[in-house]
Amino acid sequence: MILSGLLCAVLFTACQEKKEEKQAEIKESKPGNVIEVISENMEFQVQDTLPSGWNLFRYKNQSTQTHFLLIDKYPAGKNLDSIQSKVIPYFDSGMKLLNEGKADEGFAEFGKLPEWFGQVVFHGGTGLISPGKTAETMVYLEPGEYFMECYVKMENGIFHVSMGMIKPFVVSAQPSEVKELTADVEVSVSSSEGIVFNDTIRPGDHVFSVYFKDQIVHENFAGHDVNLVRIEEGANLETLEKWMNWVDPEGLIEPSPAGFTFLGGVNNMPGGKKGYFKAHLEPGTYALISEVPEAGKKNMLKTFTIPE
């Protein structure tokens, strides 16, 4: 028993030291370098201050859950307490009612959100990322105070953000040393045309640019984005399309649908803005899809094949 206790103590200390070393490494990242973000559970491990300008986020999803990283800019004076007390509770109560089949009551709860919530501006971030995967996304950020969040749902229907997956950070006036990426695959997305791109893509490493021709609020209260998904043979696209709508009780909930691997992308951005993401594509079938209801009807679900 004594030896067992000592072994547990040694293992615990080693794990703590490893975690502290990782956090120290993240905090010491120099402005201008790639912004490393790690999730091991319901958290974002990332430095507190970023440079302004182009920032390349390398998001390592080391958890067992599907995640994304969405960058929010709230109105001046709104802090983490404002979000946790005035925003998250209404999404939680509304989703609970939707899960119980009480749609009218659920949407009524969303109507109780404070008026200033409509002034939140989303500045991109990564698309959805499956467990064990890493995604790289580049966005342009002006100086100011921001948050990063993930609102994928746990198996019990609770949002990840409700479990603490929201992180405040500051973008300083110090300019980034990172240069804007050069894309070899150009994508545009809009409410009128959907996702448009040249789907003749060869295997290997690629840089996708995503230009938001416009942005609207869809039926699920979210704007459109672009997510890259690898599709296994026999996977049901209708299941994927349904899962991408978070207001559906079965939408954006763990486990993610079988046969699909999420590889990142560019999250919700204002119209007229552009972001980038990197991807290594092996031969197979893929899709670009937006997190909107009935993505196929909106031309926001586009499949393509990478040849041998």
Distance CA 148, CA 73 (A): 9
| 202-255 pLDDT per residue, tens | 999 999 999 999 999 999 999 999 999 999 999 999 999 999 999 999 999 999
Backbone angles phi, psi at 202, to 5 degrees: -90, 160
DSSP letters, 6-27, are HHHHHHHHHHHHHHHHHHHHHH
Q: Which of 209, 191, 219, 28 is nearest to 124 (CA)?
A: 209
Q: Which residues pair with 230 in a beta bridge?
A: 261, 286
pTM here is: 0.90
* DSSP strand pairing (166-175 vs 121-125): unpaired
Distance CA 290, CA 208 (A): 15
Q: Tokens standing for 15? A: 């794990």
Distance CA 121, CA 137 (A): 18
Residue 115 burial (C-beta neighbours within 10 Å; 0-12, 13-18, 19+): exposed
* DSSP strand pairing (121-125 vs 194-197): unpaired
Domains of the chain in start order, with CATH, are: 34-175 (2.60.40.420), 185-306 (2.60.40)
| 22-50 pLDDT per residue, tens | 444 444 444 447 999 999 999 999 999 99
Distance CA 33, CA 250 (A): 38
The whole-number pLDDT of residue 33 equals: 74
